[in-house]
């Protein structure tokens, strides 16, 4: 996010129960990532540009010209912010090689190691990989991982973050000593694999990637069999709740899956492709907090309540609830699960005609909310929100 004191920024907004707003205006990891260029320790590539993996927008990208910068981001709110800032996005299947690859690694270790291996794969001969991680997300371990892969690594620390970069790669006289066998091994670390006894496939880095989330399982067990009509799954992850809805509710005629993390959505498409159903299925790479384009009879959700850095953000969950209310037809039903302590009751009462707690178990609560026939619309907001992939804590 951008800093109002520095200009070229997103405005800081007052929080309300129905909007998701930035709670901080700095991105220390992004600022520190650019430090070697600001201090003249590394030159920006004169030709060929640079690839930024897991890119995020922020004022450090707009302080000086960065010719040829292209960005890759699979998380929709961050991707939207990059586009709004006028930055260029490339698809994950782009195979071009660049003289510089920048990385903001994710928290999940297997996913981050796979990303380092892919960054090395995308570097042109003589190019470098440069990465930055905050101290509280394991900066030293992350640097050690890149060193294991590439040999010599330089570093700087600032803003409670560590930025580190390789020697020139893929050249014979470089100080780097690339471990190609380890690179091949790490490239496979976040490959899709069977979970839940083979019923689903998943991959590291998506929400609850190696198990069925217990909150989602509790919601699935409580879903009534009479849910019918057009349905939506908000924050669908790898598709578990959607598969359970289709299995339990034969009168569902259409199901839209909304998921902000493209890697998870691709898994959901595969997982639901194996489900026997007559319902029409559609998949949407979408930031739910920006609202939905359609109306539904049924919405199911396990809303996120953490940011990318694990900060507690119940306003994100409240926004999911408000958006669900806006998107439901009169008499439409929201079935959701949440941690018992999360303060969702006010927005539920304000947005729905009736609300009931169906079950409470192991720290979770299952809620059914029914939209009144003449309910007033919940306040709308088109926010900028960055959450962790899948949104909840991993």
Q: What is the pLDDT of residues 34-79, one digit of tens each?
A: 999 999 999 999 899 999 999 999 999 999 999 999 999 999 999 9
- Using alpha carbons, list the distances in angstroms from residue 268 to 66, 70, 74, 281, 388: 36, 28, 15, 11, 18
Task: Based on DSSP, count helices (H) and strands (E) in the chain, helices before strands.
Answer: 11, 16
The secondary element (H helix, E strand) that includes residue 322 is helix 314-327
Q: Which segments of the chain belong to CATH 3.40.50.150?
A: 4-187, 193-370
25-30 own/partner pairs: CB under 8 Å, 24+ apart: 25/1, 26/1, 26/58, 27/1, 27/56, 27/58, 27/60, 28/134, 28/159, 28/160, 28/161, 29/104, 29/132, 29/133, 29/134, 29/159, 29/161, 30/56, 30/58, 30/60, 30/61, 30/104, 30/132
CATH assignment of 4-187? 3.40.50.150
Return the pLDDT at 312: 73
The pTM score is 0.87
Could you give the CA distance from residue 237 to residue 211 in angstroms, rounded to a whole number? Answer: 12
User: Considering the chain, what is the average pLDDT of its residues?
Assistant: 88
Band the pLDDT of 308: cuts 50, 70, 90: low
105-110 own/partner pairs: CB under 8 Å, 24+ apart: 105/54, 105/131, 105/133, 105/142, 106/54, 106/205, 106/389, 107/137, 107/138, 107/310, 107/388, 107/394, 108/204, 108/205, 108/209, 108/394, 109/141, 109/145, 109/204, 110/189, 110/190, 110/204, 110/205
- Using alpha carbons, list the distances in angstroms from residue 223 to 205, 240, 242, 271, 298: 27, 13, 11, 20, 11
pLDDT digit string, tens, across residues 309-354: 557 788 999 999 999 999 999 999 999 999 999 889 999 999 999 9
Residue from 22, 19, 77 nearest 378 by CA? 19
Return the pLDDT at 381: 43
CATH assignment of 193-370? 3.40.50.150
Q: Residue 88 forms beta bridges with which residues? A: 70
């Amino acid at each position: 996010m951008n800093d109002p004191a520095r200009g070229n920024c997103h405005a800081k907004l007052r929080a309300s129960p129905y909007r998701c707003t930035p709670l901080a205006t700095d991105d220390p990891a992004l600022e520190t990532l650019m430090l070697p260029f600001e201090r003249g320790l590394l030159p920006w590539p004169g030709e060929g540009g640079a690839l930024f993996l897991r890119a995020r927008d922020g004022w450090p990208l707009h302080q000086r010209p960065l010719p040829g910068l292209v960005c890759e981001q699979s998380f929709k709110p961050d991707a939207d912010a990059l586009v709004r800032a006028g930055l260029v996005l490339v698809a994950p299947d782009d195979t071009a090689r660049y003289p510089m690859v920048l990385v903001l690694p994710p928290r999940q270790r297997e996913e981050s190691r796979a990303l380092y291996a892919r960054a090395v794969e995308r570097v042109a001969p003589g190019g470098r990989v440069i990465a930055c991680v905050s101290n509280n997300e394991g900066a030293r371990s992350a640097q050690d991982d890149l060193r294991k892969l590439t040999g010599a690594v330089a570093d700087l620390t600032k803003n409670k973050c560590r930025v580190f970069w390789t020697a020139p790669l893929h050249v014979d006289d470089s100080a780097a000593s690339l471990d190609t066998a380890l690179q091949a091994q790490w490239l496979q670390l976040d490959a899709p694999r069977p979970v839940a006894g083979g019923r689903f496939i998943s991959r590291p880095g998506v929400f609850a990637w190696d198990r069925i989330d217990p909150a989602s399982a509790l919601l699935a067990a409580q879903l009534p069999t009479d849910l019918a009509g057009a349905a939506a799954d908000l924050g669908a992850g790898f598709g578990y709740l959607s598969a359970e809805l289709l299995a339990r509710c034969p009168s569902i005629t259409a199901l839209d899956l909304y998921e902000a993390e493209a890697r998870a959505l691709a898994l959901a498409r595969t997982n639901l492709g194996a489900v026997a159903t007559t319902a029409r299925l559609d998949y949407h790479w979408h930031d739910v907090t920006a609202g939905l384009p359609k109306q539904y009879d049924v919405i199911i959700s396990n809303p996120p309540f953490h940011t990318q850095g694990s900060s507690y953000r119940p306003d994100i969950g409240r926004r999911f609830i408000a958006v669900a209310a806006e998107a439901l037809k009169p008499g439409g039903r929201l079935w959701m699960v949440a941690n018992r302590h999360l303060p969702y009751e006010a927005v539920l009462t304000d947005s729905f005609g009736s609300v009931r707690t169906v079950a409470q178990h192991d720290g979770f609560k299952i809620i059914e909310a029914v939209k009144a026939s003449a309910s007033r619309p919940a306040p709308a907001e088109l926010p900028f929100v960055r959450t962790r992939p899948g949104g909840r804590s991993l």
